[in-house]
Amino acid sequence: MTQIVPDNRKISPSLVFFLIHSMQIGVGVLGFQRIIAKSAGYDAWISILIAGLAVHIIVWMMYKMLRIADGDILAIHTYLLGKKAAKILCSILILYFVLLTTAVLRNFIEIVQVWMFPHLHTFWFGLVFLLLVLYVIFGGFRTVTGIAFFSVLLPLYILFLFLYTVPFSDFTNMLPILDHSIKDILLSSRDMSFSIVGFETLLFFYPFIKNPEKSKKWAHLGIAYTTFAYFYLAIITFAYFPEAQLDKNVWPTLTLWKIIEMPFVERFEYIGIANWCLIILPNICLALWCVSRLTKQIFSVQQRRALPVLALLVLVGISLLVTRDQINTVTNITGKFGFYFNFVYVPILFIVILITKKVRSHGKDT
């Protein structure tokens, strides 16, 4: 039922590392510290590790399911429910990814508007950005992966720039360790998971991986690296800001950059924000690619026809969101959906599919 992906469209397994990692890193990185510190305070770094561990488990489940169904998310559902029901169920995901794209893009534009250009038109910037996204996706999945690859490699230098804050940091801020209850820490982990969702795209691009068994290792490495990046950033932030000050900063990462002064450049945050353009690009490209592929499979529309329509939807979406409250609402809805999909629905699906497989193979035997 699903078309077989031609070999020259597939990507080598090691690139899964970049896909997973780049999808998990997005606008969330600029402001997650405040959100996770709300429940668990400066013990939240433990929450990051817990959330990272949870993602590892979920991805392990995903790989198992994908192998059983031998296909993508639609194949999994078809395996369980049959064609029709699968299509209906999966069309909800279209909405999710469109919302996700809208939230990411609008959040980024908001940051630009607050920090750089108060007069930036959401519509015009969104239009040009989405045209870029279309240009990428029309190049096929390999180009999308390429963008993910460069969006991980090129901004790597930023990780080192954070060290500029160390002379102004007090690492004892995090002491005493475990000053919060387990419940608080778990709550923080849940808040953290909003930032690190995105790896569910694996369920869509799985058929595009050459030798998917080999890619497992890379997917897990990607998650580990993401967890490390968030962890590193959280430690740097917690040491730099006292808790009460962190609570006042909506985008602590950007505030961190304000202290950087180099002989040829002062005030790194402007370069950083511009750089983030490259970091959210794969987020949006991959998400839109997933939806367009899903629409193709569900409604049998060509991807090249579906994409402009979907992009237009996103463009309308970002233009309609004006105030920070509206933006936050959409972000929260997407975050919640992502959380429940990844951490609740996927495990359930996993158990169901295991049972079904047992029953079916049992049925065959007797």
Binding of another protein by 166 (CB under 8 A): no
CB of 69 to another protein, least distance (A): 27
Q: What is the x/- site pattern for another protein, positions 289-328, by CB under 8 A?
A: ---------------x------------------------
C-alpha gyration radius of the chain: 21
CA distance 295 to 145: 20
CB of 320 to another protein, least distance (A): 18
Q: Which stretch binds another protein (CB under 8 A): 93-101, 184-192, 239-247, 287-295?
A: 239-247
CB 97 within 8 Å of CB 291: yes
Buried b (16+ CB within 10 A) or exposed e, 247-278: eebebbbbbbbeebeeeeeeebbeebbeebee
Largest CA distance in the chain: 77
CB of 73 to another protein, least distance (A): 25
In Å, how far are 42, 215, 265, 343, 366 from 354, measured between CA atoms? 39, 22, 56, 17, 19
Among 1, 4, 119, 160, binds another protein (CB under 8 A): 119
Encoded amino acid at 220, one letter:
H
Site for another protein in 246-275 (CB under 8 A): 248, 254-255, 258-259, 261, 263-267, 269-271, 273-275
CB 138 within 8 Å of CB 304: yes
Among 45, 97, 141, 149, binds another protein (CB under 8 A): 149
Site for another protein in 173-192 (CB under 8 A): 173, 175-176, 179
CA distance 302 to 47: 42
Q: What is the x/- site pattern for another protein, positions 58-97, by CB under 8 A?
A: ----------------------------------------
Binding of another protein by 340 (CB under 8 A): no
Enumerate the H helices of the chain as residue ranges: 16-24, 32-40, 44-69, 73-81, 83-115, 122-138, 141-153, 157-161, 182-196, 202-205, 212-240, 243-246, 252-257, 269-299, 303-320, 324-340, 346-365
Whichever of 51 and 281 has its CB closer to another protein, that residue is 281
Residues touching another protein: how many (CB under 8 A)?
Answer: 66
Whichever of 72 and 269 has its CB closer to another protein, that residue is 269
In Å, how far are 34, 64, 86, 192, 356 from 351, measured between CA atoms? 35, 11, 17, 25, 9
Q: What is the x/- site pattern for another protein, positions 9-48, by CB under 8 A?
A: --xx-xx---------------------------------
Applying CB under 8 A, which residues contact another protein?
11-12, 14-15, 112, 114-121, 123-125, 127-129, 131-132, 135-136, 138-139, 142-143, 146-147, 149-150, 167-168, 170, 172-173, 175-176, 179, 240-245, 248, 254-255, 258-259, 261, 263-267, 269-271, 273-275, 277-278, 281, 304
